[in-house]
Amino acid sequence: MKRDSYECSAELGSVTEAMKAQRVLAAAAIPSEIIKSEGGRHRGCVFGIGFSCAQTNNVRAVLSSARITPRGWKT
């Protein structure tokens, strides 16, 4: 169940990719949670991370610098 404060999300892929993203975000003091979505256009389930929308720009920057490219964003 998603926390109310994590209303934004980034779709990543495997649970490992999601955990890598969570790890780099945690290192930047950005809280997040692992989520699973149906994927839709990604042809099956994917894992991603949920985060506070207030952190969207920071999340984008941190993931980009870690060379993590989300498949989609919900912001």
Partner 1 sequence: MIYLDNAATTFPKPPEVAREVFRCMTQYCGNPGRGGHSLSLAAAKKVYECRLAIADLIGCAEPESIVFTENTTHALNLVIKGLLKKGDHVIISDMEHNSVLRPIAKLESEGVIEYSVFPTRTLDDRRNPTLICAGIARRMRKNTRAVICSHASNICSAALPIAEIGAFCKRYGLLFIVDAAQSAGHLPIDMQKMNIDALCAPAHKSLYGPQGAGFLALAPSLSEMLDTLSEGGNGVNSFDTFMPQRPPERYEAGTLPTPSIAGLVEGINFIKHIGITTICDYERDLYVYARELLANSHGVEVYAKNHEGAVILFNKNGKTPEEVAGFLDSKGICTRAGFHCAPLAHKTLGTDTTGAVRASFGIFTRKSDVETLAKALSEIK
Residues 21 to 60 in contact with partner 1, rule: CB under 8 A = 23, 34-36, 39, 42-47
Nearer to partner 1, 44 or 57 (CB): 44
- The least CB distance from residue 37 to partner 1, in Å, is 8
SS (H, E, C) the chain: CCCCCCCEEEEEECHHHHHHHHHHHHHCCCCCEEEEECCHHHCCCEEEEEECHHHHHHHHHHHHHCCCCCCEEEC
Per rule CB under 8 A, is residue 66 in the interface with partner 1?
no
* Residue ranges that bind partner 1, judged by CB under 8 A: 13-17, 19-20, 23, 34-36, 39, 42-47
